A and B are shown apart, each in its own frame.
Chain A
Amino acid sequence: MNDEYDLVIIGWGAAGFAAAIKASEITSGQARIALIGDGPLGGTCVNFGCVPSKYLIEAAAEAHAGSRHRGVSLARPSVDFRELMNGLREAVAGERTRKYEQVIARYENVELIHGRASFVNDREVVVNGRRISGYNFLVSTGSSPVIPDVPGISEFMTTNNFWNMSEMPSTLVIIGGGAAGLEIGQAMSRLGSEVHIVEPRRLVPPHADPDASSIIARSLQADGVRLHLGFTAARAEDGYLIIKGNGEELRIRADAVLVSAGRTPNVEGLNLDAARVAYGKNGVATSRTMQTSNPRIYAAGDVVAQRFMLETLAAREGAVAAENMYEHLGIEVNELEFPRALFTQPQMASVGTLEDECAGCRSKSVPLESVPRARIAGDTDGLFKVVVDREGRVVGVHVVAPNASEIIVEGAMAVRHGLSLSDIVDQPHVFPTISEGIKLAAQSFSRNVEDMPCCVE
């Protein structure tokens, strides 16, 4: 077989897979595709991100479960951490096999090539000394954890190897209060670790709605997580991490350290200059059609210079890149249409813009306490916030609620289709459900929701 392909995809995570499959479908399986990668198939989400973290969170929620209702008591569960992590790794392997390995094996036109690719020119890459030429290329190499410089630190984990742990650390220090740090922090606290989260900014997660962030911070603290906001890790010595901030220095015992301080696009080693592909430290520059500065080369997923790193966004971008290569439609991706979620308890989910990012926008919010179902469940920590633009179109929805990640899809539909407040109010909801909160928030623009009986339109 020669080494000439119709499409060369560098990176076999969500974006690369979506592109390979979409390109195969459009071309009736006739596009000859090279899918190149050097980590486990499936990339970050299934192996190191969403999938293992959700497993840990679910297990921790079971360990933490307690009754909120009078007359019901639950026995305190015990935790075998080693067994839990064995189960977690099996679940990850199972998902990887089912959703990636077995899926791609059905595509005879796709050849998996193991190794790191580097451009020789804009028609050729080299992988382990093998030259591979292509007509179109997709750069979908994903992202890697950022490692902050902390003097004296010798042993630490990232989200790439945290999942290999078998012993539960009695104290766990997490550097970084982003989504992964908060999710893992709350789960590990619930499982029995003493957890400290060190975050230089005042909000966790950063870049979220401030009211929603405050509720998340309170909830984590109520679970026993020690949040050190405004602090940075200064140095490590003798099993302790020294953190500084707010004019003070704290010394924290650290049996284990997890670095979760953001992610950086994987552009190093690709030799993108040789392919005339523009990029910077924030990633590869693309148009909204996912085309790079070289019109035959596309990029998708975490490697793209954009705001969000999401599995769903990566998959859409990969598919759209393939459609634009073969359908010539110029389809665009708008990342603000993509809902994102923090899977703590309560969950936080958002779509669209924050109020302070949008000139002339207005917002209203209702506390979860105003939602009858939340009161019945005895679980009232949360809020619903709706942001509208000058024309009254919904441009942002922010939810903190037990199942915010499911509810946000209604907000995502509203943002994507430019719906108005009355579109949401007129949409029948089920009583009593948490999802009524978005309707109440929309109604709160025109009336006091506390003066309404249930189900008033």
Chain B
Amino acid sequence: MKKVVLRVFGMTCNDCVSRVRAGLLEREGVLDASVSLKDGTAVVQIDEGVVRPDDLELLPVFKGGRYRAQVRSVE
């Protein structure tokens, strides 16, 4: 298991937090996600055998709509 910190852009309300979290959890291999509106970040627990950290940036929730993500650290 790995902990991935994402910088998330475009969130302006708690509804955004829920959408980003749901979008992360939709992906197979994402075990848990904690999203902060104040910091503009998401801390994501992943099974690295199923999903790579960089794949998170390309999830549908970060494409086309208003949210964008960048991997900032992987532990």
Give the number of residues in B that approach A within 8 Å (Cβ atoms).
Answer: 12
Chain B residue nearest to A30 (CB atoms) is B9
Interfacial chain A residues near B9, Cβ < 8 Å: 26-28, 30-31, 326
**Interface positions of B from 41 to 59, Cβ below 8 Å from A:** 57-58
Interface residue? A211 (CB, 8 A): no
Q: Complex formed: what's the CA distance from A6 to B70 in Å?
A: 10
Q: How far is the CB of A331 from chain B (nearest CB, A)?
A: 14
Q: A135-B7, A326-B9, A328-B58 are in contact. Are A28 and B66 (CB under 8 A)?
A: yes
Give Cα A6 to B11, complex, Å: 16
Give the interface SS of chain B, mostly helix, strand, loop or mixed: mixed
Chain A residue nearest to B54 (CB atoms) is: A328
Cβ A135 vs Cβ B57 within 8 A: no
Within 8 A of B (CB), among A15-71: 26-28, 30-31
B68, A326: Cβ atoms under 8 Å? yes
Kindly list chain A residues whose C-beta atoms are within 8 Å of the C-beta of B57: 328
A30 touches B10 (CB 8 A): yes
Instruction: Name the interface residues of B24-74: CB closer than 8 Å to any CB of A.
Output: 40, 57-58, 66, 68, 70, 72
Are A326 and B40 CB-contacts (below 8 A) given A27-B9, A28-B10, A30-B9? no
In contact, A27 and B72 (Cβ under 8 angstroms): no
Pick the contact of B10: A6, A27, A327 (CB < 8 A): A27
Judge if B12 is at the interface, Cβ distance under 8 Å: yes
- Does A325 touch B at the CB level, under 8 Å? yes
Query: Which B residues touch A26, using CB under 8 A?
Result: 9, 68
Collect the chain B residues with CB atoms within 8 Å of residue A135's CB.
7, 70, 72
Q: Which residues of B contact A325 (CB under 8 A)?
A: 70
Tier of interface size on chain A: 10 to 19
Task: Please tell me if the beta carbons of A326 and B66 are within 8 angstroms of each other in the complex.
Answer: no
Residues of A within 8 A of B70 (CB): 6, 135-136, 325-326
Closest to B40 in A: A30
Q: Smallest Cβ distance from B57 to chain A, in angstroms?
A: 5
CA distance A135 to B9 in the complex (A): 14
CB distance from A31 to the nearest CB of B (A): 6
Q: Which of B11, B57, B58, B68 has the most CB of A within 10 A?
A: B68
Question: Cβ of A326: which chain B residues have Cβ within 8 Å of it?
Answer: 9, 68, 70
* A57 CB, min distance to chain B CBs, angstroms: 43
Q: Look across to chain B and name the residue whose beta carbon is closest to the beta carbon of A6.
A: B7
Q: Which residues of B contact A328 (CB under 8 A)?
A: 57-58
Contacts of B12 in A (CB 8 A): 28
Which residues of B sit under 8 angstroms from A31, Cβ to Cβ?
9
Chain A: CB-nearest residue to B67: A28
A134 vs chain B, min Cβ distance (A)? 12
Chain B nearest CB, measured from A22 CB (Å): 12
Tell me the complex Cα distance, A326–B9, Å. Answer: 9
Q: Shortest Cβ distance from A407 into chain B, in angstroms?
A: 37
A26 nearest CB across to chain B (Å)? 6
Q: Which of B57, B58, B70 gathers most chain A CB within 10 Å? A: B70
CA distance A31 to B67 in the complex (A): 12
Q: B68 to chain A: which residues have CB within 8 Å? A: 26-27, 326-327
Instruction: Identify which of residues 278-309 in chain A touch chain B, using a CB-to-CB cut-off of 8 Å.
Output: none
B41 to chain A, nearest CB (A): 11
Complex-state Cα separation, A26 to B10, whole angstroms: 8
A252 vs B39: C-alpha distance when bound (angstroms): 67
A316-331 at interface with B (beta carbon < 8 Å) = 325-328
Across-interface contacts of B58 in A (CB, < 8 A) = 328
The docked-state distance in angstroms from the alpha carbon of A126 to that of B57 is 30
Tell me the smallest distance from the CB of A29 to a CB of chain B, in Å: 9
B19 to A: closest C-beta gap in Å = 14
Q: What separation, in Å, do the CA atoms of A6 and B68 have in the docked complex?
A: 13
Chain A residues, CB < 8 A from B72: 135
Residues of B within 8 A of A30 (CB): 9-11, 40
Residue of B with least CB distance to A26: B68
Q: Supply 21 A–B pairs (Cβ within 8 Å), ascending by A.
A: A6-B7, A6-B70, A26-B9, A26-B68, A27-B9, A27-B10, A27-B68, A28-B10, A28-B66, A30-B9, A30-B11, A30-B40, A31-B9, A135-B7, A135-B70, A136-B70, A325-B70, A326-B9, A326-B68, A327-B68, A328-B58
Q: Give A contacts to B, CB under 8 Å.
A: 6, 26-28, 30-31, 135-136, 325-328
Residues of B with Cβ closer than 8 Å to A?
A: 7, 9-12, 40, 57-58, 66, 68, 70, 72
A27-B10, A135-B72 known; 5 other A-B pairs, CB under 8 Å? A28-B10, A30-B10, A326-B9, A327-B68, A328-B57
User: Nearest 6 pairs between A and B by C-beta?
Assistant: A27-B9, A28-B10, A30-B9, A326-B68, A328-B57, A28-B66
